[in-house]
């Protein structure tokens, strides 16, 4: 990496992704193994920092918040530090009542004991089927099979072991220079199905070796999550288990980052870059999806208004099915703008599909249906641009098309 160019790019708020993962930042190790919750595939993942890391998290807004989230919350609240994360897939430990909470606490304690740290330095996540008790004895055995973190260190195993109906692993990485030190930010995520603004069955783990104040980290994660993970939707449902967790272990040796640090903005942009990449990967891997849909809304009265419009379009079953059908059906885009719940002037709206203008000042623009259809056929990422011609509010949302396979997967998930 040419760090001068990198810094220049960050000054321009562009940043770029590099090869890497959650184990790219200094002092992080991760892995995954099979403990028998799933039939065959890896189902137990661990993440470890050589030193306790400053931690922050954002959780699902679903009222049926699963026990593991309460345990992670308890750990972070108790001292703001996390050193180890244990994640199982195949069972969400949700709607499991007192026994579920007991199991989540046990999962934390067993992992803490095994690696020799205090319980409150451990975060716990679960994802999978709702309403069945965790096979805790399998997880305990799995933990005992973690014999040497350095030998078993394999980020891809971690990325694999957290998946449910996902079809590919998701990771992202970037770096920047702060106080003459290279600071790295890595991430891993799982999604697929039930993915919606306000977080659904999605888990994201971000690691960085930056030295950063906890309040600042917390505030930054909330902001970035709102602009990335909360701007994706697959099917409009939100789940019981979603969590975005960030760990910053300070190993890079920079001066403590706060909003007052000259590199604060650049750092935040890099966190956003990683989270945005993960969010897009999750949307692209929506159940049955064949295309990623990106909706950019500009010139709304406020960012909030722009978000509502972008989410309304990307969440419309009719728009999603039309894109799957490679049909430039702008009427459905218009309808979704119209019921988004914001005030707007219909006669000032412009809509484009990729490079093709479909609507000008609220009226159909004479576009070549053949070219627009061709655009839908040729591209894996479909962009919709909406200009509300009101003020300066902007937003971007991501989603995927609605396909036969979505119905197939979700008509028979449990059986």
Residues comprising the binding site for substrate? Answer: 164, 190, 201, 287, 410, 415
Segment 7-11 long-range contacts (CB within 8 Å, at least 24 positions apart): 7/176, 7/177, 7/266, 10/176, 10/266, 10/269, 10/270, 11/266
Residue carrying the six token digits 């930056």: 210
Distance CA 55, CA 245 (A): 7
- Give the closest residue to 142 by CA, choosing from 82, 99, 91: 91
- Give the closest residue to 309 by CA, choosing from 350, 269, 278, 271: 350
Interacting positions 293-352 with a second copy (CB under 8 A): 315-318, 321-322, 324-325, 327, 329-332, 334-339, 343-344, 346-347
To which H or E segment does residue 156 belong?
A: helix 155-161
Position 410 contacts a second copy (CB under 8 A): yes
Nearer to a second copy among residue 260 and residue 411 (C-beta): 411
Question: Per CB under 8 A, which region of 61-69, 109-117, 154-162, 208-216 contacts a second copy?
Answer: 61-69
Query: What x-and-dash track marks residues 269-298 binding a second copy by CB under 8 A?
Result: ------------------------------
Position 106 contacts a second copy (CB under 8 A): no
Query: What x-and-dash track marks residues 239-258 binding a second copy by CB under 8 A?
Result: xx------------------
Strands 44-59 vs 81-91: parallel, antiparallel or unpaired: antiparallel
Nearer to a second copy among residue 219 and residue 329 (C-beta): 329
Distance CA 245, CA 142 (A): 22
Nearer to a second copy among residue 187 and residue 286 (C-beta): 286
What phi and psi values does residue 58 have, to the nearest 5 degrees? -125, 135
To which H or E segment does residue 405 belong?
A: helix 404-411
Question: Per CB under 8 A, which region of 21-29, 237-245, 259-267, 273-281 contacts a second copy?
Answer: 237-245
Other residues' Cβ atoms within 10 Å of the Cβ of residue 42: 21
Position 193 contacts a second copy (CB under 8 A): yes
Distances (CA, A) of 26 to 50, 116, 183, 186, 385: 9, 21, 9, 10, 40
Question: Per CB under 8 A, which region of 175-183, 231-239, 265-273, 277-285 contacts a second copy?
Answer: 231-239
User: Pick from 53, 56, 94, 400: which binds a second copy (CB under 8 A)?
Assistant: 94
Least Cβ distance, residue 339 to a second copy (angstroms): 4
Position 415 contacts a second copy (CB under 8 A): yes
Distances (CA, A) of 316 to 89, 198, 323, 334, 365: 29, 17, 11, 11, 22
Say whether 201 is catalytic.
yes
Position 259 contacts a second copy (CB under 8 A): no
Hey, which residues are catalytic here? 201
Question: Which residues are at the interface with a second copy (CB under 8 A)?
Answer: 61-64, 92, 94-97, 129-132, 193-194, 196, 198, 235-240, 315-318, 321-322, 324-325, 327, 329-332, 334-339, 343-344, 346-347, 359, 362-364, 402-404, 406-408, 410-415
């Amino acid at each position: 990496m040419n760090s001068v160019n990198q810094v220049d790019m960050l000054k321009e708020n562009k940043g770029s992704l590099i090869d890497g993962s959650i184990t790219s930042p200094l002092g992080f190790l991760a892995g995954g193994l099979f403990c028998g919750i799933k039939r065959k595939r890896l189902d137990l993942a661990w993440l470890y920092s050589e030193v306790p890391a400053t931690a922050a998290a954002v959780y699902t807004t679903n009222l049926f918040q699963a026990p593991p989230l309460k345990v992670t919350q308890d750990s972070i609240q108790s001292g703001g530090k996390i050193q180890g994360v244990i994640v199982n897939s195949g069972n969400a430990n949700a709607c499991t009542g007192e026994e579920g909470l007991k199991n989540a606490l046990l999962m934390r304690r067993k992992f803490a004991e095994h690696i020799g740290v205090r319980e409150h330095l451990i975060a716990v996540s679960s994802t999978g089927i709702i309403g069945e008790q965790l096979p805790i004895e399998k997880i305990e055995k799995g933990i005992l099979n973690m014999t040497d973190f350095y030998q078993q260190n394999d980020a891809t195993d971690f990325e694999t072991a957290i998946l449910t109906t996902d079809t590919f692993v998701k990771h992202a990485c970037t770096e920047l220079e702060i106080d003459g030190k290279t600071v790295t930010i890595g991430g891993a995520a799982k999604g697929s199905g039930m993915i919606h603004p306000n977080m659904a069955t999605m888990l994201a783990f971000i690691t960085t070796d930056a030295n950063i104040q906890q309040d600042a980290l917390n505030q930054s994660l909330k902001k970035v999550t709102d602009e990335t993970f909360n701007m994706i939707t697959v099917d409009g449902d939100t789940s019981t288990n979603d969590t975005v967790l960030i760990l910053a272990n300070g190993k890079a040796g920079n001066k403590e980052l706060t909003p007052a640090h000259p590199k604060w903005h650049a750092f935040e942009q890099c966190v956003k870059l990683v989270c945005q990449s993960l969010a897009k990967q999750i949307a692209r891997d929506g159940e049955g999806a064949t295309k990623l849909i990106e909706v950019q809304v500009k010139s709304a009265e406020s960012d909030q208004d722009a978000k509502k419009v972008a989410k309304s379009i990307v969440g419309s079953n009719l728009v999603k099915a039309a894109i799957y059908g490679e049909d430039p059906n702008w009427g459905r885009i218009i309808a979704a703008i119209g019921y988004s719940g914001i005030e707007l002037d219909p006669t000032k709206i412009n809509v484009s599909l990729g490079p093709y203008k479909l609507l000008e000042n609220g009226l159909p623009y004479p576009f070549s249906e053949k070219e627009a259809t061709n655009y839908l056929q040729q591209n894996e990422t479909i962009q919709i641009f909406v200009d509300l011609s009101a003020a300066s509010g902007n937003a971007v949302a991501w989603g995927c098309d609605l396909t036969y396979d979505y119905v197939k997967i979700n008509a028979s998930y449990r059986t």
